[in-house]
């Protein structure tokens, strides 16, 4: 039995886990600095999330008396494992490697895996025995249901277009990376894809539980909601799952809408230089997506009530995503 592929998969998974955690914490620190500057504040240093995690890991891990201990302690582990598993399916070809599990899943699987960290938070909140966490868990479930419509409509639009081009794997991220959606549509379809992009930019803060879609936590209303009873190592694990999921969601948007590399347009002197340029270009794209979908939104808009979250995702963004899907279909019929 050849164990080399197994060892390579294990090594790749370990490397991606470390990359996701470090990149996620760095991105979280950068987001806090950018938001502070936009509000005319000094803000914390970029390394603050690393300091917070180190401090949490030294704190006592308290389990409430009314909690279900094995669920309460297991939920953060499942959340982090789910976020890291997601990262193994996201193509980061700009850094010179393909997804570790890219051959075993596609956008449909990613759509399901995206729910695991949020569901783990729901289970953890419900198992804590806190009324605040129970309210937060209910809000989280409602929010998850709300943003599924625009997210699913976007995935269907991309897959439908690839099917029309004769692609054998329309839900594959590798196929999307090799065939940018913008090159497959005409003017009307480009408008539709732009509407889908605008929709996804506003889905991101909901997926990540960021302002203005952070009703499940809402510190000023329900004292932290889902994670109100968490401390020490468990809170550190949840924080790390948020960080890794941020990298996943931002990278997913880049892979869907901006899959280009600089090396496709510029002839570099060596493969190493091309890889470095592509990696730097990917970071720039990811940071721009983070700025417009997270930093700018949470600085510009106050927190929505949970009924407003549902209205925005189901009525406004759901309609916008369906319109984008219809424009992509109409564009194909015209051409």
* Cβ(270)–Cβ(167) below 8 Å: no
Return the residue matching tokens 């600085």: 299
**How is residue 146 written in tokens?**
């709300």
| Whether residue 50 has pLDDT greater than 90 | yes
| pLDDT tens-digit readout, 142-197 | 888 888 888 888 888 888 888 877 776 777 777 777 778 888 888 888 898 899 99
Q: Which residue has the tokens 């886990």?
A: 17
Distance in angstroms (rounded) separating the CA atoms of residues 2 and 71: 38
Q: Which tens digit of pLDDT belongs to each residue from 122-149?
A: 888 888 878 888 888 888 888 888 888 8
Can you tell me the mean pLDDT for 304-333?
A: 86
Q: What are the angstrom distances between the C-alpha of 186 and each of 168, 190, 329? A: 22, 6, 11
The pLDDT, as a whole number, for residue 261 is 79
Q: What angle do CA 38, 42, 43 make, to 5 degrees?
A: 85
Rounded to whole angstroms, the Cα distance separating 259 from 272 reads 19
Residue 334 has pLDDT above 80, yes or no: no
User: Which residue range is the domain that position 256 belongs to?
Assistant: 4-334
pLDDT at 156: 86
At 105, list the tokens. 């899943």
| Confidence at residue 283, expressed as pLDDT on a 0 to 100 scale | 86
The percent of residues in the chain predicted with pLDDT above 70, rounded, is 89
Q: Taking a C-beta distance cutoff of 8 angstroms, is the pair 251, 243 a contact? A: no
CA torsion through residues 5, 10, 16, 19, sign: negative
Query: CB-based contacts of 89: which residues, under 8 Å, 6+ apart?
Result: 99, 101, 102, 105, 109, 110, 113, 173
| pLDDT tens digits for range 272-289 | 777 777 778 888 888 999
| pLDDT 10s digits, 208-259 | 878 787 777 776 666 666 777 888 888 899 889 989 999 988 988 888 888 8
**Mean pLDDT across 193-204:** 90
Q: How far apart are CA 98 and CA 102, in angstroms?
A: 7
Hey, what are 145's tokens? 């249901």
Structurally, the chain folds into a number of domains equal to 1
Give residue 224's pLDDT.
65
pLDDT of 73-114, one tens digit each?
888 999 998 888 888 888 765 554 566 666 666 788 888 888
Contacts of 300 (CB under 8 A, 6+ apart): none
Model confidence at 302, pLDDT cuts 50, 70, 90, reads: confident
Q: Is 267 exposed, middle or buried (0-12, 13-18, 19+ CB in 10 A)?
A: exposed
* Mean pLDDT (the chain, rounded): 82
Q: Rounded to the nearest 10 degrees, how much is the dihedral formed by the CA atoms of 38, 284, 110, 77?
A: -60
């Amino acid at each position: 039995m050849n164990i080399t592929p197994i060892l390579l998969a294990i090594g790749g998974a370990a490397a991606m886990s470390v990359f996701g955690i470090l990149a996620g914490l760095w991105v979280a620190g950068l987001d806090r600095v950018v938001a502070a500057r936009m509000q005319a504040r000094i803000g914390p240093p970029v390394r603050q999330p690393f300091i917070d995690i180190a401090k949490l890991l030294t704190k006592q891990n308290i389990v409430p008396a009314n909690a279900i201990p094995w669920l309460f302690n297991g939920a953060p582990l499942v959340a982090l494992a789910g976020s890291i598993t997601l990262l193994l399916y996201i193509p980061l070809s700009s850094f010179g490697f393909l997804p570790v599990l890219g051959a075993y899943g596609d956008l449909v699987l990613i759509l399901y895996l995206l729910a695991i960290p949020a569901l783990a938070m729901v289970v953890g909140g419900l198992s804590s025995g806190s009324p605040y966490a129970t309210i937060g868990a209910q809000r989280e479930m409602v929010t998850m249901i709300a943003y599924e419509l625009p997210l699913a409509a976007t995935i269907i639009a991309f897959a439908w277009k690839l099917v029309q081009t004769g692609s054998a794997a329309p839900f594959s991220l590798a196929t999307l990376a090799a065939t940018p959606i913008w090159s497959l549509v005409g003017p009307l379809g480009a408008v539709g894809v732009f509407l889908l992009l605008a929709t996804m930019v506003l889905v991101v803060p909901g997926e990540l539980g960021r302002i203005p879609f952070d009703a499940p936590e809402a510190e000023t209303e329900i004292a932290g909601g889902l994670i109100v009873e968490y401390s020490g190592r468990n809170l550190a694990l949840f924080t790390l799952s948020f960080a890794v999921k941020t990298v996943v969601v931002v990278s997913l948007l880049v892979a869907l809408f901006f899959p280009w590399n600089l090396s496709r347009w510029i002839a570099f002197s060596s493969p190493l230089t091309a890889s470095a340029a592509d990696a730097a270009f990917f970071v720039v794209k990811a940071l721009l997506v983070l700025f417009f979908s997270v930093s700018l939104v949470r600085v510009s808009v106050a927190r929505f009530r949970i009924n407003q979250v549902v209205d925005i995702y189901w009525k406004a963004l759901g309609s916008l995503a369906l319109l984008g899907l219809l424009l992509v279909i109409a564009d194909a019929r015209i051409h």
